[in-house]
Amino acid sequence: MSADVVVVGSGLAGLSAALEAHKRGLKVAIMEKRVLGRGGASRMGRRFMVWSFEELPKPPPGSPWWQTYLPPAEDPQLDRKLSTVIHGDSQMAWRIALEMERMGMLFRRTDDGKLWPEPCVGLHSMKTDRVGVVLTNLMSDEVRRRDIIVLEETMAIRILKHGGKAVGVVGWDKVKGEVVTVIAKAVVLATGSAAFCLDSVPPLTLTGDGYALALRAGAELTDMCELPYYNYWNKNIEPKNWSINIAYWTNRPFNPEGPLYLNSLGQNIFEKDEYKTLIQKSVALGMDGKRVPLPHYVILHIIASELKLGRGSENHGIYISYKHMKYAPKLMKRWWATYDYLKKVGLDPSRDLLEIGLQPHISQGGIVVDGNFETSVPGLFAIGGCATYFGISMAACIASGKWVMEKVEERVKSGETTDFESVRDQVKEEENRIETLLQQAGSGGVHPAAIKHMLRDIMTRRCHFWKNEKDLLEAANEIRRIKEDALPKMRLRTRSRTYNQDLVEAFECQNLLDICEIFVEMSLRKRESRGTWQREDYPEQMKRYTQVFVKQVDGKKIYRERAFEMPGVIYEGWKMPSPSKETRPS
């Protein structure tokens, strides 16, 4: 099979890229390991982020109020594109929002018909708290209406190269039980990030496939270990599979119309003396927690500190209370679809204490790309959550899918199509790998899903919010033992070629193992603490940011670093409070 461009993944970034390619007259194929538009983290997006600072003091440039500081890209053009999507004076996200409405998206509006974004948060859907679900459904429908090749239930397992360039993709069609080869002049990875931990916000189906494909093809990765965290439903309590934000009207803890954050002693954690200096620095930069939200990483840092100091719940969580809010029931019923879900499991969020935990989200790092979203491998592109920084919002994912096609179109028009014979040996290697896995199937051994669980258990225990050298070295040793002992014993349960999910799990297992190994090594090289990056053995909060890169050459991973100072830092000089002698009430 041949195409001008093959897009791997069908979240918002992949769907956007495919639609833009078709609009430009290119022959495009989408390869998706699950069902079109139904896999990945895009469907979990709650609000479409268009920054609205109307009638609010605007945070100064360089003050990272949302998550944590994003280091400058090595290509300034990439920084400029990112800023046009996420900065408060941007119009790009607004244009995308209007385009989505023309597709059929219904965003909430004011009584006079204007789009209504919650200040500093974004646009809400009229029907659900999950804007991502509606957007992926709408864009998937648009793809199916067009002459676009859709390869569903087909997992990409190798980037084909010829003459140093990416020239196609090898995939495994789970339904037909056969290898699929797509020869193309350009390959666009849109596979999203990875769920590194058992309590990650993204679905556990995200196993870093795009990262691993790019790494083996010779592209460079960076900062895989830089994870933002969210204050979502505590996954240590039932229902454990939820990833929902119950801290609604959040990030403004000093607004009387917002919820209270309570520790196990019933104390409002934002009124504790230990955090006054940190909060005062935020206020000095215009982020007062009343009208403008506190920086998200400040809130998370305070929650994480309370948990570390033993003032969390038995389930390692913090409580959210709406009891004091006079109009909470009315507001929740009108604006918060999650209200109905909670009521169905016997919780009344306007009356009951709700428990939140710290959940790691998608990596801020990823595949290193230039201003055209091209990797160091010519013809190989990366967008959305698998590209550095561009998984930060739904608008950024969609925008990256549009922008990437400018360079792809240029490469398609100037490039030559590679014939299959040039890559036959690479395809044969993958066929042999599949046959080996199938022939080894049977009872005994270790199932691929069990190995994935082992890896995520290590990452959850050793590499969560608070990190230190001892735990990281232990994590490296445990991963090495899995690689040396468990991986050679990996066995599928069946030799069936069709609908063999075990085979897909085996590919995912190998991808996740490589990425977890890189995560730990990068963590060891970052000897500093700042924002949501915390090393207990380097407790002083610093301006320094060490960016770590990795590239695979002849099977060996080569690392490099660059360090710089961050502007607008509000936590410099702040120290972690000492453990408290207060005990939990019985």
- Res. 581: pLDDT tops 50: no
Instruction: Please state which of the ranges 264-273, 442-451, 577-586 shows the lowest mean pLDDT.
Output: 577-586
Q: Is residue 567 part of a domain?
A: no
Q: Is residue 585 part of a domain?
A: no
**CATH assignment of the domain containing 162:** 3.50.50.60
Residues 294 and 366 in one domain: no
Residues 172 and 274 in one domain: no
| Mean pLDDT of all residues in 329-355 | 79
Residues 245 and 262 in one domain: yes
> Using only C-alpha atoms, what is the Rg of the chain?
24
| Mean pLDDT of all residues in 242-249 | 63
Residues 95 and 239 in one domain: no
31: left (phi over 0), alpha (psi -120 to 50) or beta: beta
Q: Where does a domain end: 316, 338, 358?
A: 358
Q: Torsion angle of alpha carbons 457, 360, 137, 369, nearest 10°? A: -100
Which pLDDT band holds residue 380 (cuts at 50, 70, 90)? very high
Q: Where does a domain end: 332, 358, 384?
A: 358
Residues 400 and 443 in one domain: no
| Mean pLDDT of all residues in 105-134 | 74
Residues 93 and 221 in one domain: yes
Q: What is the mean pLDDT of the chain?
A: 85
Q: Is residue 564 part of a domain?
A: no
**CATH assignment of the domain containing 477:** 1.20.58.100
For the chain, the domain total comes to 3
- Res. 576: pLDDT tops 70: no
E strands in 10-52: 28-31
Determine the pLDDT at residue 232: 77
Q: Is residue 573 part of a domain?
A: no
462: which residues sit within 8 A by CB, 6+ positions away?
Answer: 471, 472, 474, 475, 478, 520
Which pLDDT band holds residue 573 (cuts at 50, 70, 90)? low
**Phi, then psi, of 295 in degrees rounded to 5:** -55, 135
Amino acid code (one letter) for 404: V
Residues 386 and 324 in one domain: no
Q: Is residue 199 part of a domain?
A: yes
Residues 501-510 have pLDDT tens digits of 999 999 999 9
The domain of 170 spans 2-228+362-425
Q: Is residue 575 part of a domain?
A: no
Residues 186 and 335 in one domain: no
Which pLDDT band holds residue 251 (cuts at 50, 70, 90)? low
Residues 62-119 have pLDDT tens digits of 444 444 556 777 788 887 787 777 654 467 788 888 888 888 888 877 778 777 776 5
Residues 190 and 86 in one domain: yes
| Mean pLDDT of all residues in 568-573 | 60
Residues 106 and 211 in one domain: yes
Q: What is the Cα 436 distance to its own chain's centre?
A: 33
For residues 124 and 47, the answer to whether their CB atoms sit within 8 Å is: yes
Q: Where does a domain end: 395, 425, 455?
A: 425
| Mean pLDDT of all residues in 516-535 | 93
Q: Is residue 154 part of a domain?
A: yes
Q: Is residue 72 part of a domain?
A: yes
For residues 158 and 426, the answer to whether their CB atoms sit within 8 Å is: yes
- Specify the DSSP element, H or E, that contains 560: strand 556-565
Residues 106 and 220 in one domain: yes
Residues 508 and 387 in one domain: no
